[in-house]
Amino acid sequence: MRKLLIGLTLAALALPASALAGGWATVGVGKPPDDMGPGQTWDAKVTVLQHGNPETPLFGVTPTLTIKNGATTKTFKGTPTNEAGVSTVRVVFPSKGKWSYTVHDGFTQYGGDQVHTFAPVSIGLPVSDDGGFPVYTLTAVIALMLGLGALLYLLARRLRVRAPAPTH
């Protein structure tokens, strides 16, 4: 009787944990090419994985990708590919500017559907206009300054004026 009671208690404790498992997914999507302009088509490859596990791609889900720039919002529906858990979404940015984008994973089973947010992208703008930190420029300036400093140091050592030797 005691073993039965322990077994039932363990089963009761395990049941809620297993009921909560399985209700979420992760989404992977690349970003548009850096040189993309308005009116061009971006074929976004969207991958939906249950629990983020590459071994559990989700079948039968249709993700949507939404782009937003100020008051302009457009949503594009995914088309499943032959690859498990992968859909292609044909996205067209209507104008240049900084656009944010999100993906609704379409995993409505267990009430686990989510909207996944990704970093904004610049469309039709030079890369430097996206507010990024100019790492390459800063690195080049620092390297140039270090080189000039080393050159001046070496020249100063060579051109050091020495006092004449005493003549006794």
Q: What strands, in cross-sheet order, belong to the sheet with 79-80?
A: 25-29, 41-50, 86-92, 79-80
Neighbouring CB atoms inside 10 A of 31's CB total 13
pLDDT confidence of residue 129: 46
> Per-residue pLDDT averaged across 103-123, rounded?
84
Instruction: Identify the residue with better confidence: 23 or 74.
Output: 74
Q: Where are the domains of the chain?
A: 24-125, 127-158
Give 131-151 pLDDT, tens digit per residue: 566 778 888 889 989 998 888
Neighbouring CB atoms inside 10 A of 108's CB total 11
Q: Which two tokens stand for residue 24?
A: 């979420």
- pTM of the model as a whole: 0.61
Q: Which two tokens stand for residue 37?
A: 């302009």
CATH class of the domain at 24-125 = mainly beta
pLDDT confidence of residue 87: 92
> Per-residue pLDDT averaged across 116-130, rounded?
77
Instruction: Report the range out of 58-62, 70-74, 81-85, 158-162 with the highest average pLDDT.
Output: 70-74
